[in-house]
């Protein structure tokens, strides 16, 4: 069975509250013996509170135990209470290092929504850190 070199998944709207982290979107990599994956994630976090609130997003594997990338925006500007903020995340993953090939994108804020969540996975020949 052929394996696609590009995987894309999208999310539904997720309610966010009390800074509890919610899985916004999840992607399962195909079962192949080896390979390197370039991972790109995006989520828009919308504030529903009357005050400005911090927000965060993480790209993880191992059911949240291994963080591939994270953004914690703790800047709280009282003049910016009604916002929609896009957060982008990037990571790489060697398939042989992950026995359960599930990648997820998680988000949190005090009172809001996560929308337009996307995960992209591109199979590449190699990943070199510079």
Each residue of 47-65: pLDDT tens digit? 888 777 888 999 999 888 8
Judge whether residue 3 has pLDDT over 60. Answer: no
Residue 46: is its pLDDT beyond 80? Answer: yes
Which residue has better confidence, 110 or 34? 110
Summarize the confidence of residues 85-99 as an average pLDDT: 82
What sign for the dihedral angle of Cα 42, 72, 106, 28?
positive
Mean pLDDT to the nearest integer, 53-82: 80
Please say whether the beta carbons of 114 and 13 come within 8 A: yes
Q: Which domains, ranges and CATH numbers included, belong to the chain?
A: 6-124 (2.60.120.760)
For the chain, give the mean pLDDT. 83
DSSP string of 113-130?
EEEEEEEEEEEES-----
């Amino acid at each position: 069975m052929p394996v696609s070199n590009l995987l894309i998944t999208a999310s539904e709207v997720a309610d966010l509250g009390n800074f509890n982290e919610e899985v916004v979107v999840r992607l399962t990599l195909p079962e192949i013996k080896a390979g390197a994956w370039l991972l790109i994630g995006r989520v828009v976090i919308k504030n529903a509170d009357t005050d400005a609130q911090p927000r965060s997003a993480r790209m993880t594997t191992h059911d949240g135990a291994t963080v591939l990338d994270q953004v914690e925006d703790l800047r709280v500007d009282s003049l910016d209470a009604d916002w929609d903020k896009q957060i982008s995340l990037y990571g790489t993953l060697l398939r042989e290092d992950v026995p359960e090939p599930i990648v997820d994108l998680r988000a949190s804020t005090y009172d809001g929504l996560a929308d337009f969540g996307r995960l992209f996975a591109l199979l590449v020949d190699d990943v070199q850190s510079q």
